[in-house]
Each structure stands twice: as structure tokens, then as C-alpha cells.
Structure 1
Amino acid sequence: MASPHDNWCAAMTTLAASLASLLGPAGNGPNPAGLALPVAAPADEAELLELLAFARSEQLRVIPMGSGTGLTRWRAGTGADFALSTRRLTGVLAFEPDDGTLAARAGTPLHELAELAAGSGHHLSPRLRHAPTASLGGVLSAGRAGPDRLRLGPPRHQLLGTRIALSDGTVAASGGRLVKNVAGFDLHRLHCGSRGTLGIILEACLRLHPAPEVSSRLATRFAGPDQARAAAELVRRGPLRPWALVLEELTGTDGSCTLHLELGGAEQVHAAELAWVRAAMAELNGATLAPASGEELDHWADGAGARLTVTCQNSRLAAVAPLLAELVPGPQVTQPDLSQIHVFGHGPPLTEAERHPLAQRLARQGARITGHARAAEPGAEWSARIRGALDPLSMFAETEAGS
């Protein structure tokens, strides 16, 4: 008698064969995310809509994904049957340097779009240099932000318009490709951070920003986190518009904490900011800002590889950080302006079961674990109603992360 695992494997094999018959060999796999599921990668929009029709007819649940660089696992109980990747839907649709806009298909690698924008003196946000294979649609669906979020805001602030494939086969458009033409409800921004639960992004248009004429990445070490937090607060309240501000605290060392800072802009403004922050650090405790590579800033910005991410009010960071170190030992990276702490270290991300007791302890300090569902969470009912309206069949399975 076949075991449940054998039956599951047989079902997956049959499903993979059905997907291959729809898309051909090129559209079946590979699976960069490591999911134990078949992966379908349609070559164009028509094939994607055909896949959704197939899923509806067979009552299958789908995990939408881009290139899979940030998709770690799906939540227990989702019952997903296969993953649908947009990695083959690539290409620039419109690039207007004078208007500062760029539109592309969802599977286009974000680094290619950033290079195109840089060639005309523009900056594309979010900046994710540490994820070269991340795709446009996946980054937006996951709501991933780079270190430039501090200066330019989250990804949803960059999104001007989208075309979305809904679970019933409808292709819905919202927004536009020109800043002046974007009016009405910002329905396209609902999809930022939705992890594909509302629909699959087919195309997106982003606003571009002027690239800084000059930039500097600086770092200075403090004897402990309290001094580093005081310095960060000084920077936050100063006459600066930093591109990144991060505190790095390593456990198992001498307890020191490093402040990382990135500044950039017009040459005269940049020179004035550098002069101010250096004088302010020297006056605070004699600290000296030294040039730094700043590569860590890109890696840390969206918590990629973190075991846990916690948010709280900025005034509670000093109380939450030591409690978090007690509960989940490991190197901490804090983004003071975003009131966010990432915990790194060895081991996989914590499961929902492991997070629950931690969430209860942290809640007493006014902190919450990013991605952890809470009972009676503000907006939960409203969010469920939106999902029910856009995906009434619950075809799109919820995931932990995606890109």
C-alpha cells in the first residue's frame, strides 16, 4: 500500500507532466527557490493566463514568484500545488528619461533596469545590489526595500502603474506610465508587499530619481550600543538627508557597535553635510568618521538572510534590542530611522511556532515581529475582504517571502 508521501510524489509528477504539456520543456522548472513543487515559467502573458485557467479548472493553488531569490518557504497549511514564475516575462516596455519613468515586464532583472536608468543620470529605487537576479515583479510583490528607502521611501512610493493578472483570468490595469497621468485610487500599490496573494504582476512602471553627483560611505565604531544609538539620533535630527543609516552590533565581541552612514547629492550640499556630521561626531565623543566600502548596507537593508526582523517605535529601540538579544542571540543590525532590528546568525528563519512566544514577550515592549500574524490585528478584516474580492477562489497561496 502506497504511503501518503508516495501518493504526494505521484501527484506532483503527474502535475509536472501536465504543466510541461501546456508550456513545453522550457516552461517547466528549474526551481531556484528550493520548493518541493513543480515550477511553471510561462514565456508570455498568454501562456500565463492559460496556466491560471488550468489551475481554476483543476482547483489548484498557485504560489506566484519572480526569480525565486527571496522565496524561502510557504506557510504550513496553504496546500499549494505548483509555483508560477514570471522569470521569462522580460523586457523594457518604455523608458522616458526626460519624464523620469521606466516600465518593464515583471521578470526583468532589477539590476538591468538600474543600469539602464544610471546611463541617463537616474537612480532606480529600490537598490538591491546584493540580489542581482531579483526581478521587478518579485521585488514589488515582496515589498523589498534597499538602503535608499531612508531617502526615497518604500517601493510602493516608486510605483506609478501596473498590469495585474487576477485569478479569474482578468487583466487589470491601474495607474499609468507618466507621473502627471496617475490619478484615481492607487490600487496598484496594494500589490506591493502582497506576496502575490492579490494577483500576479505582469508589468510595472516606476518613477526614477536624479542620481547623486557625489556620494560617501562612512563608518565609525563606538564602545557600546548606547553611544552608537545616541550618535544615530544626532544624525536623525540633524540637517541631513542620508541615503542609509545603520547600526551594526556583533555579539560575542567586545560589545562595540559600528555606525554606518551613506550620504549623497549635489556636490556643494554633499560637502556641507559631510562637514556637519564630522563636526557633530567629534563634538559628541571625539568620534571620527572613516571612509568605508559600505557593501554591508546593501545586504542588510531588507533583512535578506536575517533569522528575525522586529519593528517598534524609535523610542523603544534601546529597550527592545537587549531583550531581543536575550531571546534570540545573534548579530543585530538596526535601522534607527526605520525603527527596525534584524537578527542574523546561523540557522534558518524562525518558524511560526517559534515566533509566537517571542512575539508575546516583545509585544510588552511595543514591538512586533515582521510577518507574524496577530489576532485582531488592525486592518486584518479589511485585508481579508480585499483578498476575497480579488481572489475569491483563494487560488493564490500565501508565502513567507518572495522576489
Structure 2
Amino acid sequence: MKIASNYKNIDDKLLPSGEVGRGFGIYIHIPFCKQACHYCDFHFSTSMKKKDQLVDMLCWELELRKNELPEKEIRTIYFGGGTPSLLTSEELQQIFTAIFANYQVAENPEITLEANPDDLSEEKLKMLKASKINRLSIGVQSFFEEDLKLMNRAHNAKEALESIQLATKYFDNISIDLIYGIPDMSAERWQQNLQIALDLGVPHISSYALTVEPNTALHKYIEKGKIKPVDDEVAKAHFEIMVRILKNANFRHYEFSNFGKEGYFSQNNTAYWLGKSYLGIGPSAHSYDGNFRKWNVSNNSLYIKALEKNELPIETEELTTTDKYNEYVMTRLRTQYGVDIAEVEAVFGVKYRDHLLKNADVLLEKELIKNKNQVLHVTSKGKFLSDGIASDLFYLE
């Protein structure tokens, strides 16, 4: 089957799952956390004082933007953050009421909620099961106490394990997050992390190397020598262990950081990688319609004040053809779908195809990418370097 183009009439194409790609996604950013993880640079607040107001404004933004992507139905709804599992039943219902009142929703949309293990009591899981949520993404990060303390996670190792054991009683579609490359994490402990996840029967794993972002607590602690620096070679070794173990467990490595059993790939994330449109609702949330990117202000108070005045706190950027080509290369090389040479010519033109082929030659010689049926894929040798490989194929003006 020909993979759908990112930018050319995707609504009439088939997604890799076989589902028709009509519609768009809605992302809801819930900017609240119990405490700050040392590595996190996402927008959030540990103060819940404005939570009621902010939920009201999320619903108002949903109403104000209902005609932004007209005549398309919602296929995915994703609650990210922050910590969306801090939402009450009433708050979730309030947001769902705003979505279903203002948008056409598909018959069986994928509706994901990110959750922290310490929030997932049996009572909470029963509430979520009774709501419209049908997929959980649980931020485990590690099953070991020393890792969780280093990252300043709000949960402990016991809660990490028990939250998944409980969640599987109520949900079939569960993803967990794991972090590798943590200072002092041995290869053996990383393998144990993966084995625990497999023994629990989760059908989807998202896994990321620990990265040191500027102005985070982790960055400051490393600078002061309180935490050892992150070692890229250790992270690479952990990545290779993960690829091998999950492949042997019949997981598909369908995107650089994502592994799923058949039927459990994230529809939300797959839609992003294939260039589908989405609305980002909430402070710091991003939106995309194929030609423009938009992003909301990353400040809860300013977000609330703007919407109280019926103003959208949004900045907009129009994407050039080169922007779209570069993004296509970046996202596709990270996935199992690859960069289709004929598709590049059809969507972006001969100039971009020729540039792609010329710059690909060196990477092919180094066996960092391969050409399979005129589709470029990253090889096993190049997989951990996929972002750098993509940049070598970018068109620079």
C-alpha cells in the first residue's frame, strides 16, 4: 500500500493502520503537577489555585475555535500536560461536554489521558473507565526507587508497579513511559525495567533518553556536580538493548521512541507523524493545519486573562515549502514508514527530490540509511542517529 502523503490530500488516503485518515485531533494541555520533575521543561504549575478558572477557559477556547478546521471530524483526543490525571470527574466531563457540543466526533475516537502512577487509585480508575477515556498513558519512567528519586518523580517504585496492575483491570489500551540513559543506571537495571513492563502485559511502550534541558533542576545539579552527567554512549547502549528485547517480544518499533503490539499503535501520534491537522487547546499548546503552526502563550494567568476578554492568546507562523519538506523528512525518518522519494517529488517538487537524492548518497555509503523500493529508511546502524541524519537531508535556504 502506498503511504499517504503528509501534505497532499491526506484526508482521502489511508493511514498505516488501514483507517481512513479523515478528520483531525484535539490536544488538551493540562498545566498542573503535584511537583516538578528535575528533567522537565514543559509548561506547568505546581499551584492549583487557578485550576477551576483554567478548565473554564479551556472549554471557552474550544468553543471559540470550533470553526478553525471546518467540516472535519475528531478522530483522536489527547489529554497531555502537566498531569491530566489531576482532573476530577466533573472537570473531565466539563471538557468533554465542550468538545461534543462544538465538534463532530468520530464514532470510536481514540481518547488518551496521561496519568501519573500515584494518581491511579482503584477509585480513580473506575472514574476514568466510566468516562469517555479509552486509552491510558502512564508516566512510570522507571520501576526502581533510585531512578525515581534522582528524577524527583511524585510516585515511588511500589506505586509504579501497582498502578499498572490495577489499570489492566479496567483498560486494555495502555501505554507506559520509560526513561533510559539515567546516571548510574546499569544495563542490567534497564533490562529489568523492560522485563517488568513485559511481564505486566502492557501493549505499548514509549521510551526516551534522559535529556538535560537548559534551566531545569537536572541541568543545575549536573553543573554543581550533585548528579553525574548524562552519557550518550550509555544511552545508545540502552537504546540498542531496548530495540532487541522488544523486537523479541513481538513489539513493532514503529517510531524512534515508540514500540507497540499490533493494533496498539498510538493513533494520535501516528496522525502527527503523517501530517494530519490538530488543534492544541490550553496554555503552551501547539496547533497545525498543514500550512500554519500556532501556539498559545505559556503562562496560565495570561492565557486566562486573554480568553476572559474573548481574545485568543495565539501566535502564528506560516510554513514555507522548505519548512514542510524538512518536517516531512524529520518525522518520516523517525518512523517505520520512511521517506518516499516519489512522494517528495509529487508534493514538494523536483528541486527537493534532487536535493534529497544528492544528500542521501553519503548516508547510503555509510550504511546509515537504506533505499528499499524507493523509500529511504534509517538502518539499525543509524537508528540512534536519526535526528542528525534527518538534518543532513534538510534543505537549507
Classify the TM-score, shorter chain. under 0.3
TM-score (norm 2): 0.24
TM-score (norm 1): 0.23
Which has the larger helix fraction?
A: 2
Whichever of the two has the greater Rg, that structure is 1
